[in-house]
Amino acid sequence: MEFDIYALLLVLGLLGGFISGLLGIGGGIIMVPLLLYTPQLFGIPELAMRTVAGITTVQSFVGAVFGAYNHNKFKRIHLPLAYLMGIPMAIGSFTGSFFSEDVSNEFMLKAFGLMAMTAAILLLIPKKKDDNLQDLEHVSFSKGLAVIIGGTIGVFAGIIGQGGAFLFIPAMIYFLSIPTRVAIGTALIIGIMSSSAVLVGRLGSAQIPWVWSLIIVVGVLIGAHFGSHLSQKIHVKILRYILAVIIIATAVKIWIEVL
């Protein structure tokens, strides 16, 4: 049984890491439902949402770090935007993570489902502004709105143990008018800040199963490399739709379980 779950976690890490590099997310948006619902298919006992949140806290951080490293090679990261959103995001994430020990599994699921559904709706809205702009020097946005978005998402991301990049990307694209590829690359930097804050918050409350988390990390390192390179070859609309489909499927499954 122990070997079975180790093998499963490694495979899920590969998948989560690949998606992290491809779509600019820590991978938690797909890793959470996979960890919640896949083990039973192989005769492995169901994992509690709290355990899953602990695993994905580590996985999201590692996925964001290696995804950002690869995307930075293609000059897709807007650092001023990342800091404006990432710092309040980290503060909010730490706060939400620190108090997450007192939050029920049901509330975590509902919060995750609500965030996922919001992100999916935003991604399905057609963009009016040209998305071909990739020159970082010509990217403009509201600094105040960026700070507000970062702090708000951060609190909820901390509660559910995610970097929140799956919600940051549509927020940057539609509220701040950031080009898709730049949003994907920048979201990974923000994800590093927020997921590190979540990680620190959970370290103090012993919510992380380290052996399982490290096994997933091995898969993430490999998957993120290939995903980041493939991301540069796919049209931005296709990237948005892939992300939307993944998020919708996750949200639907979560809400079915909750209701």
Q: What percentage of the chain carries pLDDT values higher than 90?
A: 8
Of the pLDDT bands very low, low, confident and very high (cuts 50, 70, 90), residue 254 is confident
pLDDT beyond 80 at 153: yes
Q: Note the pLDDT tens digit of each residue in 180-192.
A: 888 888 888 887 8
pLDDT of residue 161: 62
Task: Evaluate if pTM is beyond 0.75.
Answer: no
In the numeric block, the tokens 């990390």 are attached to 217
Confidence of residue 164 (pLDDT cuts 50, 70, 90): low
The yes-or-no verdict on residue 73 having pLDDT over 80 is no
Residues with Cβ within 8 Å of 219's Cβ and at least 6 positions away in sequence, in order, are 9, 10, 11, 12, 13, 14, 15, 16, 17
Q: Residue 145: is its pLDDT beyond 90? A: yes
Nearest to 205 by CA among 108, 123, 127, 102: 102
- Residue 163, pLDDT score: 58
Question: Can you list the alpha helix ranges (DSSP code H) found in the chain?
Answer: 2-23, 28-37, 49-72, 79-98, 105-123, 143-160, 165-175, 180-203, 210-231, 236-258
At residue 148, the pLDDT reads 94
User: Do the beta carbons of residue 39 and residue 47 sit within 8 Å?
Assistant: yes
pLDDT above 70: residue 66: yes
- The fraction of the chain above a pLDDT of 70, given in percent, is 88
Residue whose entry in the numeric block shows the structure tokens 């702009």: 133
Categorize the per-residue pLDDT at 195 as very low, low, confident or very high, splitting at 50, 70 and 90.
confident
The DSSP secondary structure of 176-189, one letter per residue, reads S---HHHHHHHHHH
